[in-house]
Amino acid sequence: AVREGRAASVSAYVASALEEKAKLDELAALLDQMLAESGGPLTSAERRAADRALGVSLTKRRRR
């Protein structure tokens, strides 16, 4: 990254990577909290109903 000009130094590159990781960790925690507050993940029946309402096709093709 330094040679390609994407970072001023290895230290700056590592600091940027750690900052990005912290942001992603905070986002994951927020999403977990939102999921818990909304009643948890969708059940299979809820997901199928939502897919039907949205017109999502779930046809799966087998690879041979």
Per residue in 8-60, pLDDT (tens digit) is 999 999 999 999 999 999 999 999 999 999 999 999 999 999 999 999 987 76
**Where in the sequence is the domain holding 42, given as residue range(s)?**
10-54
Q: Is the pLDDT of residue 61 over 70?
A: no
Residue 49 belongs to a domain: yes
Residue 34 belongs to a domain: yes
pLDDT class of 62 with cuts at 50, 70, 90: low
**What value, to the nearest 5°, has the Cα angle with vertex 31 and ends 28 and 37?**
145
| Number of domains forming the structure of the chain | 1
Query: Which residues are CB-neighbours of 50 under 8 A, at least 6 positions away?
Result: 42, 56
Query: Which residues are CB-neighbours of 12 under 8 A, at least 6 positions away?
Result: none
Residue 59 belongs to a domain: no
Q: Is the pLDDT of residue 63 over 70?
A: no
CB 28 within 8 A of CB 36: no
Residue 40 belongs to a domain: yes
Question: DSSP label at 19?
Answer: H
Residue 62 belongs to a domain: no
What is the structure's pLDDT at 57?
83
**Whole-prediction pTM value?**
0.59
Residue 1 belongs to a domain: no
Residue 61 belongs to a domain: no
State how far the Cα of 36 lies from the Cα of 30, in Å rounded to an integer: 10
